[in-house]
Amino acid sequence: MLQSSTIQFLKALKKNNNKEWFDKNRKIYEQAKADYLNFVTILLNEIQGFDTSLMELQPKQCIFRLNRDVRFSKNKDPYKTNFGASFSKGAKKIQTAGYYFHLEPGENFVGGGLWMPMAPDLNKVRQEIDYCFKEFSSILKKPNFKTTYGDMDNSMKLVRPPKGFEIDNPALEYLKLKSFVVTRTIKDTELTDKQLVKNVVKDFKTIAPLVHFLNRAIE
């Protein structure tokens, strides 16, 4: 579980996204950061119990910086208003499929997969889905998968079939995808529940076969 003070800090930061306020509340930030790191440490230990490819991963490698890169953005807010953690064998340096936890009051979610892969890896994933569609489909059709996540996120996809694939391909709707991810929304009330870690680990275990499938494709 997470401390309510961590959630309150992120809510306050959203209303006061400026350096002056942040500097005045740096101690509260450090406490929230430590709380989230502790949560991520516990999560990673649990994940390593069923995904041995992450055995070399360290908790601090999983957490994203709070500072935003505003050099090429119209939004000049200096800080993100969320704590994010990605659990993948490439850490944050090499793009591989993995698990993700997003803490942002009102917009929390858990999920995983492969986010916006570069063209070479995107082509590899599409080929793997095409060649092994029966296996891929069986992962998505498992009752616990459908109950938790429904289906793949299709918010970013091509209108037409990707080059090299026919319009009557049975896997076409998945081949059109640009990202291969699934998510489940988490209510704010779940964040301070003692069952949070147990529930998130269960969600991660549910998508482990998908993560392994995607990583096999790009290796």
Which pTM was predicted?
0.95
* Closest among 60, 67, 66, 106 to 87, alpha carbons compared: 60
Residues present in the chain in total: 219
Phi, psi values for residue 75, rounded to 5°? -80, 110
147, amino acid identity: T
Structural domain boundaries of the chain?
4-218
Percentage, residues of the chain above pLDDT 90: 93
What is the structure's pLDDT at 73?
80
Asked if the 4-218 domain carries CATH number 1.10.3470, the reply is no
Match 């590899």 to its residue by tokens.
124
* pLDDT tens sequence across 64-94: 999 998 788 888 899 999 999 999 987 777 7
Residue 127 has pLDDT above 80, yes or no: yes
Dihedral of CA atoms 58, 210, 192, 190 in degrees, nearest 10, equals 170
How far apart are the C-alpha atoms of 43 and 55, rounded to whole Å? 13
Mean pLDDT, the chain, integer: 96
